[in-house]
């Protein structure tokens, strides 16, 4: 926020970040070494994972298409840090809002029972048919975007936008948290209403082409992990709600107080008690 103070590292953020990154890189090096040993064995083209594909790009020797080991570690770091907290914070917020609105929770469970069946487990191919659950996820991302200011942008040249001069190399933050709660675009914006997404699927998607709903950003810098984030959130939520009933230990609605660290998380973690819904033991293995 205040670049002039950056060299002093007054809060110790830079030193802590370097320490954490060093730990991650040591972990990545051990995983990379395991994959290299695996690659020395019999070649199985159909069993290559993402890391093995990256290692092949590292070894081809073409300056234009090869990537360095440093770049591989940076890619892995982006994947780990960009998909863990954001994904499971969204799941926690969705559970919180559903427990605060029993009628919405009941509708989700009824949809799961109708499409999946009470004795079956949730599979990825079920997800496209869970339209109300998808609306719940979108409404959760609208009210509680995990990255409320998105990632900072920086113009390469001084430009004028809507009469405002944006100097070159400025740090630009987009307050998507405020935009997605703006009464100009949303009716009763503070109310948790998944139904608002059921009839406008094409407009309010995750592609960033609707500037009143873009929790993953927009344009060339849009989040590259949209597909995996959407699938993981949907699959985990569907499994939790299909297999268990959820009870609050104190019988009170969970609060929605927010705390902004790297992501917009709950000020107090959600604490709930699961109760098995199904007699099919395979669902819990």
CATH value at residue 184: 1.10.630.10
Average predicted confidence (pLDDT) for the chain = 89
Residues 56 and 118 in one domain: no
Count other C-beta atoms under 10 Å from residue 26's C-beta: 9
User: Same structural domain for residues 152 and 230?
Assistant: yes
Q: Which domain holds residue 18?
A: 3-81
79, 140, 165, 193, 256 from 105: Cα distances, Å: 31, 13, 47, 12, 17
Last residue of a domain, one of 81, 100, 123: 81
DSSP the chain: --GGGGGG-TTSHHHHHHHHHHHHHHHHHHHHHHHHHHHTS---GGG--HHHHHHHHHHS--TTT---HHHHHHHHHHHHHHHSHHHHHHHHHHHHHHHH-HHHHHHHHHHHHHHH-TTS---GGGGGG-HHHHHHHHHHHHHS-SSTT-S-B--SS-EEETTEEE-TT--B---HHHHTT-TTT-SSTTS--GGGGTT-TTTSSSSS-STT--TT--GGGS-TTHHHHHHHHHHHHHHHHHHEEEE-TTSSPPP--EEESSSEEESS----EEEE--S-GGGG-
Last residue of a domain, one of 24, 51, 81: 81
pLDDT value for 41: 60
User: 104 and 34 in one domain?
Assistant: no
Is 230 in contact with 94 (CB distance < 8 Å)? no
Same domain, 119 and 249: yes
Instruction: Using the structure block, give the residue that is written with the tokens 């199904």.
Output: 278
98 & 224 share domain: yes
Residue numbers of the chain with a pLDDT score lower than 50:
none
Q: Is residue 243 part of an annotated ligand binding site? A: no
Q: Are residues 77 and 128 in the same domain?
A: no
- Domain count for the chain, please give it: 2
Contacts of 10 (CB under 8 A, 6+ apart): none
Q: Quick one: which of 171, 130, 135 has its CA closest to 154?
A: 171
Same domain, 101 and 119: yes
Whether 139 and 254 map to the same domain: the answer is yes
Neighbour count for residue 238 (Cβ, 10 Å): 23
Task: Check if the beta carbon of residue 100 is closer than 8 Å to that of residue 92.
Answer: no
The residue among 31, 56, 81 that closes a domain is: 81
Structure tokens at 171: 């740090």
Cα–Cα distance measured from residue 170 to residue 42, given in angstroms and rounded to the nearest whole number: 51
Please state whether beta strands 273-276 and 258-260 pair in parallel, antiparallel, or not at all (unpaired).
unpaired
Asked if 131 and 21 sit in the same domain, the reply is no
Distances (CA, A) of 126 to 34, 122, 173, 206: 35, 7, 37, 20
Residues 116, 213 within the same domain: yes
Give pLDDT tens digits for 234-268.
999 999 999 999 999 887 889 999 998 879 999 99
Are residue 145 and residue 229 in the same domain, yes or no? yes
64 shares its domain with 94: no
């Amino acid at each position: 926020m205040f670049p002039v103070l950056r060299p002093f590292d007054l809060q110790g953020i830079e030193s802590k970040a370097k320490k954490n990154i060093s730990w991650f890189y040591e972990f990545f090096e051990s995983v990379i070494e395991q994959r290299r040993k695996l690659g020395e064995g019999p070649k199985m083209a159909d069993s290559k994972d993402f890391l093995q594909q990256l290692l092949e790009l590292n070894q081809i020797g073409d300056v234009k298409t090869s990537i360095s080991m440093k770049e591989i570690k940076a890619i892995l770091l982006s994947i780990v840090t960009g998909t863990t907290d954001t994904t499971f914070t969204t799941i926690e917020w969705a559970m919180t809002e559903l427990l605060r609105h029993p009628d919405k929770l009941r509708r989700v469970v009824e949809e799961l029972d109708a499409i999946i069946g009470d004795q079956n487990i949730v599979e990825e191919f079920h997800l496209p048919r869970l339209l109300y659950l998808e609306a719940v996820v979108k409404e959760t991302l609208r009210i509680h975007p995990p990255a409320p200011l998105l990632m900072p942008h920086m113009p390469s040249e001084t430009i004028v936008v809507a009469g405002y001069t944006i100097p070159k190399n400025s740090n630009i933050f987009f307050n998507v948290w405020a935009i997605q709660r703006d009464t100009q675009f949303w009716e009763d914006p503070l109310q948790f209403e998944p139904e608002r997404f059921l009839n406008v699927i094409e407009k309010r998607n995750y592609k960033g082409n609707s500037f009143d709903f873009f929790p993953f950003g927009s344009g060339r810098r849009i989040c590259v992990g949209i597909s995996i984030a959407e699938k993981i959130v949907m699959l985990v939520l569907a499994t939790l709600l299909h297999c268990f009933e959820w009870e609050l230990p104190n019988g009170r609605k969970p609060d929605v107080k927010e705390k902004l660290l790297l992501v917009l998380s709950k000020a107090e973690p959600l604490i709930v008690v699961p109760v098995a819904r199904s007699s099919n033991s395979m669902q819990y293995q």
